[in-house]
Every structure is written in structure tokens, then in C-alpha cells.
Chain A
Amino acid sequence: MTRVRIPPMLRSDVGGARELEADGDTVGDVIEDLVDRYPPLRSQLYENGSLGSFVNVYLGGEDVRTLAGLETPTRNGATVILLPAMAGGL
């Protein structure tokens, strides 16, 4: 199981959870597992069938774009951080 950090703007789509566990051998599988269980997430994260470029995904603090992208294998106990751009300066 991989822990996935849910950013505040997506929490209403997952019943308010700040962190969830999901299954998968790669970062892509983990996210896929999550959107299967929480369908409203799909439209927030995906753009034309793939993960939107406005959402960053980190594994162990590293942007998966600098690793093997969504193919990056997850490690046991690692945390995935989903991070959409945030504009507020209120």
C-alpha cells in the first residue's frame, strides 16, 4: 500500500480525507486505483485521458517527471504527494 497525500482542494471529492492508501506497483497504478474508488477525482486530475500537466505528483519528495513519470515504481511505505497549482495569497 502506498500513502497518498490529498491536497485541500481535492478533499471534498474523497470525503474530506487528508491522506488515503492505494494499491499499485507504479505511481500511475496507485493514482488509477484512487480515481477508480473516488470517481469525482478523475475529472480533477485527468485531462484528455491522462494526468493533467497542472497536477504535480511527487514520490519521496521527487517530482515523478524527473523519475520515470507515472511508470515510476512505488516503494513500500513511500508517500505520493498530489499537488495541483495553488494561487491564493488572500
Chain B
Amino acid sequence: MAGYRDLLARVKDEIHEISSLEAQERHQSEGAPLFVDVREPDEWEEGHIPGAIYVSRGRLESRIEGLVPDKARPLVVYCSAGSRSAFAAKALGEIGYEDVVSLAGGFTDWKRNGFDVTIPRVLSSEQRSRYSRHLLIPEVGEDGQQRLLDARVLLIGAGGLGSPASLYLAAAGVGTLGIVDADVVDESNLQRQIVHSTERLGEPKVSSAKRTLEALNPDVRVLPFQERLTSENVDRILGEGWDVIVDGADNFPTRYLLNDASVWHGIPVVHGSIFRFEGQATVFSPHAGPCYRCLFPQPPPAELAPSCAEGGVLGVLPGIIGSLQANETLKLILERGDTLAGRLLLFDALGTTLDEVSVRRDPECPVCGDNPTITDYVDYVEFCNAPAVYDA
């Protein structure tokens, strides 16, 4: 009775094999054949021939016609040593592929010859499981998830807006989160600042947030900046390179400073602000859309600005606005959908209404306009009587 070796030998007699040297020559040639990798997923993930497509041996017959509809297209099938690919080549011939060869010695021999290898960036099995609900969405998928993992987002403030925004961004797997906040956790924060907790009272907010976020998702690295954003440090902090900035500041000087700096550094800002029962959110994309000064050219006079400490806010409101900010941030990273750039969203929690007004880029804008008049940082006076913190 014939064993496996006899069967393999017989199959190899029925197919064509090429050496890795010849395969490499064909790979480099004009009109190169399509390389088909039929190994197991973990073998593919450790490296494969550049340009190859992947279909596991077990699913080859059922999937190949979808992947390669043209049966006249030359194929080079490979596995690790040339046995599985021999059976695969035979099967492909039987379902009508006209020009199929098997790579003798397989990927092992290809590598031993020092030929080019692509090592795909793949999610670990833990990541596959953690982000499975993202992977199921075509607009995110594995490429999108890799983008999120590679992304760097800077949050101004670890307070009401920064709490939900940072939690959702961390949960989504945004790989690097910078957080700027000079303050420590206070009892009056906990009615809404859900990234902190009672046991963290007195702890710097940046370290409290770091502990919460890194515990939520070990893929996330939190870079703490325990300082208030000033004209002295803004270039250093923004200069560390960020894809998106989430503005959750609670005072005008920081908002204008951040706006001007983000325009000059070319970093989009996802803006959110809240007062009592009402919140606003929008996106400022430097030069592609309006900036904060196109919306509000200058801060109100100090005597008219509402006092931050007196204002008060419904605890859930920053949860809603901060989550909208996280949503805009994810879309900016993924380059999917329509962001709020050019639109200011107005949310009223008392009436549960959502309105929007349009925001246009102002060619006369003192910072992003055609003839800017502001070219250096402006230190506005603090408007609140309360200490200048991000979440009084």
C-alpha cells in the first residue's frame, strides 16, 4: 500500500517545479507570475515573498477562483519546503489553472538564498481578539487598526472632556496618548472626570490618567506632561509630533495659544467646550478649514467672560461632548467619513437638541488668513478668578 512519500513522489511527477533561483528570476521579470502562499497563517505572518497573495492550503480550492479569476495567469505556488505546494499545484491544475508551478524547496530555500522577504505587520492574537469589533467594520479593518496603533494624539486637559475622550481613544487602541495637565485630582472633579477615581485624590491628573488608560489597554503608551500649556513650552510639546490634538482646555488663553500653535505646527485640533447644559464641538484643520480665530477672532473682554468656577456643568455633558471629540479624532486618523471641519455642533442637554452652524475659513483671519497679523504667541490674561487649571 502506498504511503505519503509515494503519494508525494507521484504528485511531484504530475506537476512542474522550479528552483528558488528560477523563481527569483521570474519574480524580477516583466509580467512576473503571481506568487501564491499556501502555508498556515502564522507562517505567512513571519514573512513571505513580496507581492504574494495568501490563501491557506485548506481553503485553496474554494477561494482561489475569487482571488484569481484569470485561469491563464501564471502562478508560482509555494509552502515552506515544497510538499504542500506540490499538492496545491496539482489541485489548481485540476480546477483549470493552466500555468502553475510549485516552488521546490519552498520559502525556506528562498530565504536561504537571501532573496527579498516581506514581513507583514500583523496584529497579535490578543489584539485580534481585543479589536475584533473594529476588525469587523470594513471602514476600520486590520489596516485601520494598525493606523490607530501607530497614531499619536495629544490631549490638552485630563478633565471633563479629556476623561471620556482619552478613555475611548485608549480603548480603541490609539497607540500613543500625550496628556497635558498641571493639576491634581480633587474631590469636585469626580462628578464628571471619569478617568480618575476616589483613591487618586491628590495625585497628579496625568499620572492618574496614565494608570487608568494603560490598565484599560496595554497597547497604549501614555506620555504625561505635568505642566500648563504656555507660550514657553507649547513649541516643545507640539514639536514631539502629533497626528491630532484634542482640546479640552477650560480657559481662553490656552485655547487661543493652542490654536495659534496648531496652525503653525499644522496639526488638526478637535475642539470641545462645555458650559452648564450646553456643549460645542468642531474640528479645526489648519489651512484646509477654519481655525478657532476664524470662529472667534479674539477672546471676550475679561469682565464679560463667564467665570469658570461659577459656571458649573452637568456631569454627563462632558461625557457626550468628549465622546464626540473621540469620534472625530478616530475619523481623522482613519481618514474616513466627514469630520466636523467647517461645522460647529451645538448640543443642548436640557432640550436634548443638536444644532449645527457653519464655520468658514476667514481670509482675513489674523492667524491662518492670507495676510496674518499675529505671527507670535499672545499671552492673554487669565479670565477666571479661579486658579488657571484645566478643569477648575
Using CB atoms and an 8 Å cutoff, list the residues of chain A in contact with chain B.
Answer: 7-9, 18, 43-44, 47, 52-56, 58, 61-63, 66, 81, 83-90
Shortest distance in angstroms between A9's beta carbon and chain B's nearest beta carbon?
4
Residues in B279-317 with C-beta less than 8 Å from chain A? 280, 295-301, 304-306, 308, 311, 313
Which residues of the partner chain A approach B344 to less than 8 Å between Cβ atoms?
A: 83
Residues in B340-376 with C-beta less than 8 Å from chain A? 344, 346, 348, 350-351, 355-360
- With A61-B358, A89-B156, A89-B161 known, 10 other A-B pairs at CB within 8 A are A18-B350, A52-B300, A54-B304, A61-B357, A85-B252, A87-B305, A88-B250, A89-B159, A89-B318, A90-B392
Shortest distance in angstroms between B179's beta carbon and chain A's nearest beta carbon?
13
Cβ contact within 8 Å between A87 and B273: yes
Chain B residue with the shortest CB-CB distance to A52: B300
Can you list 24 A-B pairs with a CB-CB distance of less than 8 A? A44-B304, A52-B300, A52-B304, A54-B296, A54-B297, A61-B355, A61-B356, A63-B358, A63-B359, A66-B358, A66-B360, A83-B346, A86-B278, A87-B249, A87-B273, A87-B305, A88-B313, A89-B161, A89-B248, A89-B249, A89-B272, A89-B318, A90-B192, A90-B392
Q: Given A61-B357, A89-B390, A90-B274, are A56 and B296 also a contact pair (CB < 8 Å)? A: yes
Cβ contact within 8 Å between A85 and B300: yes
Which residues of the partner chain B approach A66 to less than 8 Å between Cβ atoms?
A: 358, 360
Of the candidates B247, B297, B311, the one whose C-beta lies within 8 Å of that of A53 is: B297
Q: How far is the CA of A28 from the CA of B98 in the complex (A)?
A: 79
Which residues of the partner chain B approach A58 to less than 8 Å between Cβ atoms?
A: 357
Determine if B275 is an interface residue (Cβ-Cβ < 8 Å).
yes
- Closest 8 interchain pairs by CB? A54-B300, A89-B250, A85-B296, A89-B248, A90-B160, A9-B306, A58-B357, A86-B273
Determine if B162 is an interface residue (Cβ-Cβ < 8 Å).
yes
Cβ contact within 8 Å between B250 and A8: no
Which residues of the partner chain A approach B300 to less than 8 Å between Cβ atoms?
A: 52, 54-55, 84-85
Which residues of the partner chain B approach A18 to less than 8 Å between Cβ atoms?
A: 348, 350-351
Q: How far is the CA of A84 from the CA of B280 in the complex (A)?
A: 11
Cβ contact within 8 Å between B247 and A7: no
Which residues of the partner chain B approach A7 to less than 8 Å between Cβ atoms?
A: 278
Cβ contact within 8 Å between A90 and B360: no
Which residues of the partner chain A approach B359 to less than 8 Å between Cβ atoms?
A: 63
Tell which of B252, B304, B313, B350 has the most Cβ of chain A within 10 Å: B304
Determine if B111 is an interface residue (Cβ-Cβ < 8 Å).
no
Determine if B147 is an interface residue (Cβ-Cβ < 8 Å).
no
Which residues of the partner chain A approach B162 to less than 8 Å between Cβ atoms?
A: 89
Cβ contact within 8 Å between B350 and A83: no
Chain B residue with the shortest CB-CB distance to A79: B355
Q: How far is the CA of A76 from the CA of B298 in the complex (A)?
A: 32
Residues in B152-170 with C-beta less than 8 Å from chain A? 156-157, 159-162
Tell which of B252, B278, B357 has the most Cβ of chain A within 10 Å: B357
Q: How far is the CA of A89 from the CA of B248 in the complex (A)?
A: 5
Chain A residue with the shortest CB-CB distance to B322: A89
Of the candidates B298, B313, B348, the one whose C-beta lies within 8 Å of that of A90 is: B313
Determine if B391 is an interface residue (Cβ-Cβ < 8 Å).
yes
Q: How far is the CA of A63 from the CA of B247 in the complex (A)?
A: 23
Which residues of the partner chain A approach B250 to less than 8 Å between Cβ atoms?
A: 87-90
Which residues of the partner chain B approach A53 to less than 8 Å between Cβ atoms?
A: 297-298
Which residues of the partner chain B approach A81 to less than 8 Å between Cβ atoms?
A: 346, 355, 357
Which residues of the partner chain B approach A61 to less than 8 Å between Cβ atoms?
A: 355-358
Determine if B20 is an interface residue (Cβ-Cβ < 8 Å).
no
Cβ contact within 8 Å between A62 and B308: no
Shortest distance in angstroms between B191's beta carbon and chain A's nearest beta carbon?
10
Determine if B97 is an interface residue (Cβ-Cβ < 8 Å).
no
